[in-house]
Amino acid sequence: MSSSKTSRKESDRHNPKNSLISMISRPEIGPIGVMILLFGMLGYFSIPASETTWNPFAGEGFNALGIRNNLRVISQLGIIALGAGLLIIAGEFDLSIGSMIGFAGACMAMTLRWGFSIVLPYISFDGGAHLEFYTLLHIPDVSPILAIFITLCFTITFGWIQGFIIVRSGLPSFIVTLGGLFFLRGLTEVSLRSFNHRPDQAKGATTVTEIPDIKNIINLPGYGEMEREAAKYLPETDLISILKNLPSDVITKITERLEYTSQRVAEAKTDLLIAKGVKPLEKALENAIASDNEFMIKTIQDKIENFKIDPVTPKTVTDVDIARAYIDTIGSARPVADFFGGNILEPIFDWLYFPVDWNVNNFGNQFAPGLYSCVMIWVILSLVCYIVLSKTQVGNWIYSTGGNLSAAQANGVPTNKVKISLFMFSAFCATLFATCQVFEVNTSDAAKGNLKELEAIAAAVIGGIVMTGGFGTILGIIVGAFIFGLAKEAFFYIPGIDGSFYRVFLGFVIIASALLNENIRKRIMGNI
Partner 1 sequence: MISKSNPLIETKDLVKKFGSFTALNGVSLKVYPGEVHALLGDNGAGKSTLIKALSGVHQPTSGKILVEGNETKFNSPRDASEVGIGTVYQDLALNSLTSVTRNFFLGRELKFGKGPFGILKMQKMHNIAIEEMAKIGIKIEDPEQPVGTMSGGQRQTLAIARAIYFGAKVLILDEPTSALGQKQQMEVLKTIKKVQQLGNIAIILITHNEIHARLIADRYTFISLGEVIGSGTSKDLEGDDIRRLMAGGAEVGDLAKELA
Of the residues 471, 491, 502, 505, which one makes contact with partner 1 according to CB under 8 A: 471
| Distance in angstroms (rounded) separating the CA atoms of residues 8 and 14 | 11
Q: Quick one: 162 or 517, whose CB is closer to partner 1?
A: 517
User: For residue 327, what are the CA distances in angstroms to 224, 321, 342, 344, 504?
Assistant: 13, 10, 16, 18, 47
Residue 222: CB minimum distance to partner 1, A:
48
Q: Quick one: 30 or 395, whose CB is closer to partner 1?
A: 395
Cβ atoms of 359 and 63 closer than 8 Å: yes
464 binds partner 1 (CB under 8 A): no
308 binds partner 1 (CB under 8 A): no
Of the residues 191, 404, 416, 450, which one makes contact with partner 1 according to CB under 8 A: 404
Q: Quick one: 181 or 422, whose CB is closer to partner 1?
A: 422
14 binds partner 1 (CB under 8 A): yes
| Distance in angstroms (rounded) separating the CA atoms of residues 200 and 67 | 43
Residue 468: CB minimum distance to partner 1, A:
10
Cβ atoms of 54 and 60 closer than 8 Å: no
User: Of 200, 70, 163, 169, nearest to 421 (Cα)?
Assistant: 163
Of the residues 152, 184, 408, 510, which one makes contact with partner 1 according to CB under 8 A: 408
521 binds partner 1 (CB under 8 A): yes
519 binds partner 1 (CB under 8 A): no
Residue 527: CB minimum distance to partner 1, A:
8
| Distance in angstroms (rounded) separating the CA atoms of residues 96 and 75 | 19
470 binds partner 1 (CB under 8 A): yes
392 binds partner 1 (CB under 8 A): yes
Give the number of residues in contact with partner 1, rule: CB under 8 A.
Answer: 33
CB atoms within 10 A of CB 121: 9
User: Of 46, 27, 26, nearest to 38 (Cα)?
Assistant: 46
User: Of 191, 158, 195, nearest to 177 (Cα)?
Assistant: 158
Cβ atoms of 176 and 162 closer than 8 Å: yes
Residue 83: CB minimum distance to partner 1, A:
17
User: Of 445, 455, 522, 524, nearest to 488 (Cα)?
Assistant: 455
Of the residues 171, 407, 451, 504, which one makes contact with partner 1 according to CB under 8 A: 407
Of the residues 19, 125, 410, 496, which one makes contact with partner 1 according to CB under 8 A: 410
> Which of the 8 DSSP states describes residue 27?
T
Of the residues 168, 197, 283, 391, which one makes contact with partner 1 according to CB under 8 A: 391
Cβ atoms of 214 and 439 closer than 8 Å: yes
Binding site residues, partner 1, CB under 8 A: 9-11, 14, 16-17, 387-388, 391-397, 399-400, 403-404, 406-408, 410-413, 470-471, 521, 523-526
